[in-house]
């Protein structure tokens, strides 16, 4: 058999009973060795890939619909459809299918959809066809019973459908309908309702084409007005002919397109308003009706999209200032319905559709017809979403996030789009976005705390948090000037944990910037109070709220944000001091004490700076380690007369420099629970402790000596030489200045030595400067 190719679209029916477009290609029929039979093949027109390979199964029911559709099922829940561009191509492929199955190509369905029992099949085979009663008024009840009895059996439905098609029965029934209406014969009209409803459930495209023709459709709707369960009858025809008016806002020159629009509207009305809601068993019987409407809409969108003259005229009139308001409203309603029809398209086709509208100028046209800013319209629709789950609001929030993302903004030659757009957004739109937040946070607790409101506020906070991260001074100015953070933190009292966490995440994002403008705003307004209150109210529960709050304070400690550290300890320490299952708050307190000690002893801080600036060698140790070595040094390591500054600074009064050191060491001693041991080592390469003890020999060199155990150290706990002990050598007097771990080399004074200095120490040991004997310290007597 020779292959024949025709342009088609391949569709599959998804779980929601909607058709998904699988691609466009060319169909052919031929023998496939792997499938062992004649098959339908569709290859994509874009790259030649195989879109469909389906064996023509002798027992599969194929349906031909609307002259350009072939529909069939390959599995229990897997329906396929080929939509042909040309009727000739559909007819040719249909002939191939019928040839394989041994069917007459004049039929519209090749097989029954469900297998029959053997007994029923035998009975049906014995009767070649279904004989219908003569179409007369007095036999309407008999006809209605026949239709009702045929619906449960797929084979009998097929025979009934063929009989209705071949004898032109539907038109005869509609003639009797006029007679019954003229005679006001309600019984006959009720029978006609049941008959026409049953014909819909036969699910046959050929019957639909007769019923939905211009000649018959209004009479079919008339029959469906006389539902026996409803009294009085519905006036559907009156609505369609008098109330619903077809307005041709732009003249449509194609009569086929115009007829298709009329037909689709009326069939959609039948499905939505006229037919009763189908039962579970009847729903699948109307699948062909759904498909009929779906493919009609696809065809209408395609025909309009290809008519450039029509679209050009549409947008020209929309943007023309001379167009009156009533006409412009009609144009907008048409555009709205046009876009609604496009929702039947698959994503790739929908993208092409909106690209066409964009090229035709839809955005300038919308700008003309809007009374308010489009972006504010989006925000208002998001805020007013009536869906309890806020499905629409979530989508609109994603759209807003895309709009305000600086990564999506282009830079121009002289001025960036980012600056221009963000300035516009914060001036004209931000107040609309934050309105629900500000309205709900006027008190200490949210004024409305229902689930839907909480969800909406969480969405708004998500976008504000994004702005804090990606915008600069715009969001900073807005937050500080409008006191936004205070209002956000009111939501920490919400009964919805997810909303309270959103508020906390917003503040955490601000603190993460380590911006002193934000920090001063937080301190001035005491904006840690709601967080601490939420932490205490959470109690001993180990949950996400507990962990998130602790993480925020831990960040402040680790990053050593001095202003916030001082603010937290000075104002909230009493509330937090008993929290001992983590060391975060005690660590913050230690940071605070270190800061305060440095502030109380500016000379000491200056001294450390001098010594650090004159170190002859540095390694990768942090400033904190160096300061610990300084503070952990024993005061009795310093002997009288030892120089602690470069020779150029020896004219300074030693008493002025050392007195603050002595006071600091005494205060530190009182706070510590036990004395730190000071290890004295000679071999620098093997030392493990950063603290050293300085001793002097009777010779001319200054040496570092070690002691064998901590018990021999004069600075060990309980020894007479412990720093700060009354009357001990560790107390610094006016005549005694003591310093830790000082080695004089080449005119420089090193505070401590580091492991990577060991080799240089060994090489340069003999080169150390010999201090004048008059300046040397005396060994204290043991």
Strand order in the sheet with 6-13: 50-55, 37-44, 19-32, 6-13, 78-84, 69-75, 62-65
Whether pLDDT at 93 is above 60:
yes
Query: Averaged over 714-720, what is the pLDDT?
Result: 37
Summarize the confidence of residues 463-475 as an average pLDDT: 92
Give the separation between CA 4 and CA 338, rounded to whole angstroms. Answer: 35
**Structure token pair of residue 399:** 């759209």
Q: Is 19 helix (H, G, I), strand (E, B) or coil?
A: strand
According to the per-residue pLDDT averaged within each range, which of 233-242, 327-336, 450-459, 656-665 is highest?
450-459
Instruction: Note whether 304 and 334 are within 8 A (CB).
Output: no
Those residues whose C-beta lies under 8 Å from the C-beta of residue 756, and which sit 6 or more positions away, are 617, 619
Using alpha carbons, list the distances in angstroms from residue 112 to 123, 224, 684, 700: 15, 28, 97, 116
What pLDDT score was predicted for residue 5? 55
CA atoms in the 13 A half-sphere facing the CB of 454 = 18
Higher per-residue pLDDT: 98 or 763: 98
Q: In this model, does residue 767 exceed pLDDT 60?
A: no
Nearest Cα residue to 526 out of 502, 513, 507, 505: 507
pLDDT band for position 608 (cuts 50, 70, 90)? low
pLDDT digits over 295-344, tens only? Answer: 888 889 888 888 878 888 888 888 888 888 888 888 888 888 888 888 88
Q: Are strands 694-696 and 50-55 parallel, antiparallel or unpaired?
A: unpaired
- Burial readout 301-331 (b: 16 or more C-beta within 10 A, e: otherwise): bebbbebeebbeebbebbbeeebeeeebebb
Give, in order, the Cα–Cα distances in Å from 655 to each of 370, 647, 660, 669.
80, 16, 9, 21
Q: What is the mean pLDDT of residues 10-30?
A: 83
pLDDT(657) > 80? no
Residue 622, C-beta contacts closer than 8 angstroms, at least 6 positions apart:
none
Q: In angstroms, rounded to a whole number, what is the distance separating the alpha carbons of residues 482 and 249? A: 48
> Residue 751: helix, strand or coil by DSSP?
coil
* pTM of the predicted structure, to 2 decimals: 0.47
Query: With helix as H, strand as E and coil as C, how does 420-442 read?
Result: HHHHHHHHHCHHHHHHHHHHCCC
Q: What's the pLDDT score for residue 245?
A: 81
46-92 per-position pLDDT tens digit: 888 888 888 888 878 888 887 788 988 876 567 888 988 888 888 88
Task: State yes or no: cis peptide before 385, omega within 30 of 0.
Answer: no
User: What's the mean pLDDT in 734-760?
Assistant: 38
pLDDT of residue 585: 94
Q: Are 143 and 133 in contact (CB under 8 A)?
A: yes
Is the confidence at residue 392, as pLDDT, over 70? yes
Give me the percent of the chain exceeding a pLDDT of 90. Answer: 32
Residue 352 has pLDDT above 90, yes or no: no
pLDDT value, residue 544: 94
Query: Which residues, in sequence order, are CB contacts of 591 under 8 Å at separation 6+?
Result: 557, 560, 562, 565
With a cut of 50, say whether residue 189 has pLDDT above it: yes
Residue whose tokens read 């998904």: 20
3-state secondary structure of 112: coil
Cβ contact 430:422 at 8 Å: no
Determine which helix (DSSP H) or strand (DSSP E) holds 173, and give its type and residue range.
helix 169-183
Region 493-500: mean pLDDT is: 94
51-60, 619-628, 634-643, range with the lowest pLDDT: 634-643
């Amino acid at each position: 058999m020779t292959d024949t190719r025709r342009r088609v679209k391949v569709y599959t029916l998804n779980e929601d009973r909607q058709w998904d477009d699988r691609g466009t290609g060319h169909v052919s029929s031929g023998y496939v060795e792997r499938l062992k039979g004649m098959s339908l093949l569709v290859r994509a027109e874009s790259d030649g890939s195989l879109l469909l390979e389906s064996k023509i199964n002798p027992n599969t029911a194929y349906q031909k619909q609307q002259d350009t559709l072939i529909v069939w099922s390959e599995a229990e829940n897997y329906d396929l459809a080929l939509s042909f561009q040309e009727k000739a191509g559909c007819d040719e492929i249909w002939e191939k299918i019928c040839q394989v199955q041994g069917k007459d190509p004049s039929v519209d369905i090749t097989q029954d959809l469900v297998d029959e029992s053997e007994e029923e099949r035998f009975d049906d085979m014995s009767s070649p066809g279904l004989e219908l009663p003569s179409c007369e008024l007095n036999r309407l009840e008999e006809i209605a019973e026949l239709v009702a009895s045929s619906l449960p059996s797929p084979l009998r439905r097929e025979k009934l459908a063929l009989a209705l098609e071949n004898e032109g029965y539907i038109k005869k029934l509609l003639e009797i309908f006029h007679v019954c209406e003229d005679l006001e014969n309600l019984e006959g009209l009720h029978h006609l309702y049941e008959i026409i409803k049953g014909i819909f459930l036969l699910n046959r495209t050929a019957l639909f084409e007769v019923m939905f023709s211009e000649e018959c459709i209004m009479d079919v709707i008339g029959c469906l007005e006389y539902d026996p369960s409803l009294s009085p009858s519905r006036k559907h025809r009156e609505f369609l002919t008098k109330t619903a008016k077809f307005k041709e806002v732009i003249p449509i020159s194609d009569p086929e397109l115009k007829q298709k629009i009329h037909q689709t509207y009326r069939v959609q009305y039948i499905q939505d308003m006229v037919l009763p809601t189908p039962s579970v068993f009847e729903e699948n019987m109307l699948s062909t009706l759904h498909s009929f409407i779906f493919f009609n809409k696809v065809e209408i969108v395609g025909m309009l999209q290809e008519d450039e003259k029509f679209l050009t005229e549409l947008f020209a009139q929309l943007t023309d200032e001379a167009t009156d308001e009533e006409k412009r409203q009609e144009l907008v309603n048409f555009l709205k319905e046009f876009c609604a029809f496009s929702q039947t398209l698959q994503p790739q086709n929908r993208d092409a559709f909106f690209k066409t509208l964009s090229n035709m100028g839809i955005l300038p046209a919308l700008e003309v017809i809007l009374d308010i800013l489009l972006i504010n319209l989006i925000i208002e629709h998001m805020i007013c979403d009536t869906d309890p789950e806020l499905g629409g609001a979530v989508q609109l929030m994603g759209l807003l996030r895309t709009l305000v993302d600086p990564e999506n903004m282009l830079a121009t030659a002289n001025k960036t789009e980012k600056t221009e757009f963000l300035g516009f957004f914060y001036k004209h739109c931000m107040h609309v976005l934050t309105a629900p937040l500000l309205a709900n946070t006027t008190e200490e607790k949210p004024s409305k705390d229902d689930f839907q409101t909480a969800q909406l506020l969480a969405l708004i906070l998500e976008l504000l948090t994004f702005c804090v991260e990606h915008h600069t001074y715009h969001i900073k100015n807005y937050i500080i000037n409008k006191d936004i953070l205070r209002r956000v933190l009111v939501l920490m009292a919400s009964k919805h944990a997810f909303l309270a966490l959103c508020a906390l995440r917003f503040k955490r994002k601000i603190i993460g910037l380590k911006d002193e403008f934000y920090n001063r705003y937080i301190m001035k307004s005491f904006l840690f109070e709601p967080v601490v209150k939420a932490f205490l109210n959470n109690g001993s529960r180990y949950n996400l709220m507990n962990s998130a709050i602790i993480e925020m304070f831990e960040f402040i400690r680790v990053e050593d944000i001095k202003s916030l550290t001082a603010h937290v300890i000075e104002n909230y320490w009493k509330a937090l001091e008993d929290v001992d299952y983590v060391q975060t708050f005690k660590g913050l307190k230690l940071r605070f004490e270190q800061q305060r000690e440095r502030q109380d002893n500016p000379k000491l801080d200056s001294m450390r700076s001098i010594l650090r600036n004159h170190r002859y060698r540095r390694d990768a140790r942090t400033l904190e380690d160096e300061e610990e070595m300084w503070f952990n040094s024993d005061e009795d390591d310093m002997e009288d007369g030892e120089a602690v500054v470069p020779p150029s600074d020896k004219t300074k009064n030693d008493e002025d420099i050392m007195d603050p050191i002595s006071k600091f060491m005494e205060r530190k001693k009182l706070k510590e629970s036990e004395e730190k041991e000071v290890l004295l080592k000679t071999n620098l390469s093997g030392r493990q402790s950063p603290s050293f003890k300085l001793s002097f020999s009777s010779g001319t060199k200054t040496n570092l000596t070690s002691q064998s155990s901590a018990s021999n150290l004069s600075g060990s706990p309980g020894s007479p030489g412990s720093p700060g002990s009354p009357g001990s050598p560790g107390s610094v007097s006016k005549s005694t200045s003591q310093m830790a771990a000082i080695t004089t080399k080449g005119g420089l004074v090193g505070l401590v030595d580091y492991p990577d200095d060991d080799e240089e120490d060994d090489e340069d040991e003999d080169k150390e400067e010999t201090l004048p004997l008059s300046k040397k310290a005396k060994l204290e007597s043991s």
